[in-house]
Amino acid sequence: MVNSAQTVLSPSWPDRQHIDLISEAVVRVLKGTGIRIDDVDFVIDSGSDFLDGRSISNCGFLGAMGAHHKEESRVEEDGLWALTYGANKIAAGSASVGLIIAYSKPSESIVSNFWADMLEPFTQRPIGLDHESAAALYGQRYLARAGLVADDLQAVSRRAYRLAVSNAGVDLDAVPDDEAFWSEEVSSPLRRADFARPVDGAVAILLASPDVADQITARPVWITGMGSAIDQHFIAAREPDSLPAATAAAKSALRMAGTDSAKDYDLVELSGASTVGELMVAEAIGLAEPYSAIELYRNETASLNPSGGALPADVIMATGLVRVHEASSRLAGRTDSGDIGASSALVHGTGGFSMQNHCVVTMEVAS
């Protein structure tokens, strides 16, 4: 990965179209690399037709992606999967330079419908299941098992919002001081602050083969491991308070990277659709023992989601790739937010209804 860029992630970009957000991210990711759009061999993008309000929406966005007369392919899953697709193309030797793009404008549609429309339509959708009640069903069981109450989850959410305020890439002036946001039950036992906040934005990553990468930057970020795994669709039949698919995804990425544990990484960026979701991911990938991830938040863990993570800024379909932008910027020293001396990172993304699908990518820079 030789460069990455994103737009500001905002609850609403009312005066920008998808193409405006996409082209801004793409222009920025090429800037200063010496790579021109003509040098790009392929473009792989992530977005959702349902969120975009048009079918095969990537066809209308090709110009903004710089994909004119190029190989282009759409992944209907978080952009982190698009990254693995692109990395495999380059690793296979079929291309030298690839552009990975993910974007969404959830402000243009009704997010709860987007999630509910993923559901099996016979027994799941008609009963009124939505993404928040699904997360809350996990929440109730997780809290009971971990011996926590809903207020304890503020260790996760308040930290996330605090970090997002200092993240220039997230449109957030201050930690919300609205009492209802933190305390009022939206879907019991969870509150508004427990659910990821949908935001609009676009992100782009520039991938290159080793010979090209070495010409562009002295600090390319190398992808060392990739893995993904999916759980079953029916949430009633999934594990009640853990995410085995995230465990499987991490296991396969760690095996490929030749490392033993997520704890071996200097920096970890996770995507949680809810506070409880983020805790379960941390446990699933091996950062904490089952039902004890809250301690990572109670005892400030600087290496975990220094960006604030997905809770304050969930660019649905792009959140995992934003995590890559955050992690790779820090590894390559491209961020203003201070060098934490990290040389390796593990990134997690999720997709599907109530975190059904998980993807883990590991990366490192030469130290």
Question: Residue 47 or residue 309: which is nearer to another protein going by CB?
Answer: 47
Q: Is residue 314 a contact point for another protein (CB under 8 A)?
A: no
Q: Report which residue type is found at 331.
A: L
Among 11, 91, 176, 186, binds another protein (CB under 8 A): 186
Q: Which CB, 208 or 235, lies closer to another protein?
A: 235
Q: Rounded to the nearest whole angstrom, what is the least distance from the CB of residue 365 to another protein in the complex? A: 29
Buried b (16+ CB within 10 A) or exposed e, 273-295: bbbbbbbbbbbbbbbbeebebbe
Q: Which is nearer to another protein, 71 or 343 (CB)?
A: 71
Residue 175 pairs in a beta bridge with: none
Spell out, one character per residue from 85 to 114, where the chain touches another protein: x when CB under 8 A holds, - when not: --------------------x-xxxx--x-
Does residue 121 touch another protein according to CB under 8 A? Answer: yes
Verify binding: residue 230, another protein, rule CB under 8 A: no
Residue 235 near another protein by CB under 8 A: yes
Residue closer to another protein, measured from CB, 63 or 210: 63
d(CA 33, CA 2): 8
Among 10, 187, 228, 275, binds another protein (CB under 8 A): 187
Whether the Cβ atoms of residue 363 and residue 259 lie closer than 8 Å to each other: no
Characterise 354 by phi-psi region: left (phi > 0), alpha (psi -120 to 50), beta (else): left
Give yes or no for residue 209 binding another protein (CB under 8 A): no
Separation between Cα atoms, residue 290 and residue 278, nearest integer Å: 12
The pairing of strands 71-75 and 42-46 is parallel
- Angle among Cα 58, 270, 99 to the nearest 5 degrees reads 30
- Partnered with residue 6 across adjacent β-strands are 203
Q: Judged by CB under 8 A, does residue 188 bind another protein?
A: yes
End-to-end CA distance of the chain: 16
- Among the listed ranges 128-136, 170-178, 215-223, 304-312, the one in contact with another protein (CB under 8 A) is 128-136
Task: Determine which residue in the list 234, 260, 264, 340 makes contact with another protein, applying CB under 8 A.
Answer: 234
User: What single DSSP character describes residue 237?
Assistant: G
User: Exposed, middle or buried: residue 267 (CB in 10 Å: 0-12, 13-18, 19+)?
Assistant: buried
5 part of the interface to another protein, by CB under 8 A: no
Identify the DSSP state of 235. Answer: G
State in angstroms the smallest separation of the CB of 37 from another protein.
4
For another protein, the closer of residues 49 and 260 by Cβ is: 49
Separation CA 304–CA 326 (nearest Å): 12
Can you give the binding site for another protein, defined by CB under 8 A? 13-17, 19-20, 23-24, 26-27, 37, 50, 53, 62-64, 66, 68, 105, 107-110, 113, 117, 121-124, 126-130, 132-133, 136-137, 139-141, 144, 185-190, 232-237, 240
